[in-house]
A and B are shown apart, each in its own frame.
Chain A
Amino acid sequence: MSNRPTPRAVLRTAVTPRWLGFAGLALIFITCAVVLGRWQWERTQDIIQAEQAAQSAPRPVEEVSEPGGTLANELLGQPVLAEGNYEGAGQVLVLHRSLNGKPGVWVVTPLRLTDGSLIAVLRGWLPDAGAPGAIAPNDRVAVAGVVQPDEGFYLEAKPAPGTVVAISSVELRKLWGPETRPGYVTLATQQPAFTPAPTPVPPTVVTDNAAFPIQNFFYAIQWLIFAAFAIVVYGRWLWRDAQEMSAKNPEDSTTVTPS
């Protein structure tokens, strides 16, 4: 079949209900692919920026975690400084947390910052709730650590008062009030230090020394390639249908090779 369909024949095929339907499907797919591609691209950027943040100098926690807001993905693992007074009455224990294979709990204490807002500080690990160092004196301290995102699991769990199964500022806000900032700080060092004190734990989400997010980067490219594919398939198949239509109506076609 060497007949070349005229532009009029291609257009006439394109506006048939069948081909308008395909055009609609193609547009929906292209939109989805572009949105997914952008999402993967943003993930790539977040991971690269989070790594830069993890290696940057500590910033005041007030700049990183804003009350009522959410923690920006590119700031996970950012080293922070937090100065204020512990409020031992609000302290919660995170159940079932092991350190180097030993079972225990994590101690999370609200820290009242100078502006009156609160940030959750993961002070560290203890073998059990009654271990020495569990109670935080309401002293003024300067905490250095890294900011961590809310833990998003076991949200439906209802443990005993004073205990939680995951660190979620949404849940802590119900206990501590609306001035609670999102996320939490994993304590690395504290001035002045308490003795005894819980053992500081490594951050759950480590963004330092992260590998280049090649998977997200390639997926971002591939979604755009898939969108381009939809256009190619639509065009090629439309062309063929128009060609077959032209074959039936010879005035719609120009013959390329002598027949």
Chain B
Amino acid sequence: MNKIKGAALRYRIMAWVTGVVLGALTIWLIVGYGFMDYANTDVKPGLYRLLWTAHGWLYFIYLIVGVDLAFRMRYSILRTLGILIAGTVPFMSFVAEYFVHKDVMTRVAAQPVDPA
């Protein structure tokens, strides 16, 4: 159970981190291309590019912790895919995290205390 709790916490942190970065970038993209002429690459700030690069690697970590938790929770392959893909859709990682967290809490509560 402790292992599941640890995996769930790691997943929770990564779901929030990738979710916040992707959400911020989505809003930034809409504002930048909609109102600030980012199509003209000269005005695109370095931080904006850097964050997209960072998001690529954050999502990679999200995949690792997501697969780890899904395996420990014995989720079906389709449910696992759903959780992993949620990380690429803006604001969906929060939704996925909500349901996964609820599920983990029920599972932990249902289990007797781990003797180990």
Is the CB of A249 closer than 8 A to any CB of chain B?
Answer: no
Q: Are B71 and A236 in contact (CB under 8 A)?
A: yes
Question: With the chains together, A174 CA to B91 CA distance in Å?
Answer: 47
| B53, A214: Cβ atoms closer than 8 Å | yes
> Given A222-B60, A232-B67 in contact, is the A215-B49 Cβ separation under 8 Å?
yes
Q: Which of chain A's residues 87-110 have a Cβ closer than 8 Å to chain B?
A: none
Contacts of A194 in B (CB 8 A): none
Instruction: Report the bound CA distance from A236 to B66 in whole Å.
Output: 14
In the complex, what's the smallest C-beta–C-beta distance from B4 to chain A, in angstroms? Answer: 15
**CB within 8 Å of A: which B29-54 residues:** 49, 52-53
Which residues on the A side are within 8 Å of B74 (C-beta)?
Answer: 240
* CB interface residues, A 154-189, toward B, < 8 Å: none
**Chain B residues closer than 8 Å to A240, beta-carbon distance:** 71, 74
Q: How many A-B residue pairs have CB under 8 A?
A: 31
Judged by DSSP, the binding face of A is helix
Contact across chains for B77 and A233 when beta carbons are under 8 A apart: yes
B52 touches A233 (CB 8 A): no
Q: A225-B60, A229-B63 are in contact. Are A215 and B77 (CB under 8 A)?
A: no
Docked-complex contact A237 and B80, CB < 8 angstroms: yes
- Across the interface, do B77 and A237 meet the contact criterion of CB distance under 8 Å? yes
**A residues in contact with B57, CB < 8 Å:** 218, 222
A225 to chain B, nearest CB (A): 6
Least distance between A230 CB and chain B CB atoms (Å): 10
Note all chain B residues with C-beta closer than 8 A to A219.
56
Question: How many angstroms from the CA of A232 to the CA of B81 in the assembled complex?
Answer: 13
Contact across chains for A218 and B56 when beta carbons are under 8 A apart: yes
Which residues in chain A, 184-232, are within 8 Å of chain B measured between CB atoms? Answer: 214-215, 218-219, 222, 225-226, 229, 232
| Contact residues in A for B77 (Cβ distance below 8 Å) | 22, 233-234, 237
When the two chains form their complex, are residues A233 and B67 in contact, meaning their CB atoms are under 8 A apart?
yes
Q: Is the CB of B80 within 8 A of A233?
A: yes
Q: Nearest Cβ distance between residue A22 and chain B, in whole angstroms?
A: 6
Interface contact A215-B53, CB-CB below 8 Å? yes
Return the 8 tightest CB-CB contacts between A and B, nearest first: A237-B77, A215-B53, A222-B56, A218-B56, A218-B53, A229-B63, A233-B67, A215-B52
Q: List 12 A-B contacts (CB under 8 A).
A: A214-B53, A215-B52, A222-B56, A225-B60, A229-B63, A229-B67, A232-B67, A233-B80, A233-B81, A236-B67, A236-B71, A237-B77
